[in-house]
Amino acid sequence: MSKNIQVVVTGASGFVAKNVRKHLSLNEFNLISISRKNFQKLKKETKIVSSDYKEKDILPKIKNSYA
């Protein structure tokens, strides 16, 4: 079931988000991670770095996400 669920994690470079991302990745969720700071991408993760979280740039990429 988790393979079909797309999850968005904001603040991806932070301590808590980093651990959440690892857990979700291990459980094979479709993962999109967003941060204002650069961060190391995990396998099968979509990485978005945006300094100001412009909606026009991010919204199309996170469309149909559950969280």
For 25-37, how does the pLDDT look when each residue is reduced to its tens digit (9 = 90+)?
Answer: 999 899 999 999 9
Distance CA 57, CA 16 (A): 25
The residue among 35, 32, 34, 58 whose CA lies nearest residue 45 is 32
Tell me which amino acid residue 54 is: K
Whether residue 44 has pLDDT greater than 90 = no
The helix/strand/coil state of 16 is: helix
Whether residue 60 has pLDDT greater than 90 = no
Determine the pLDDT at residue 66. Answer: 81
Half-sphere exposure of 41 (CA within 13 A, CB side): 9
Average pLDDT on 49-57 reads 79
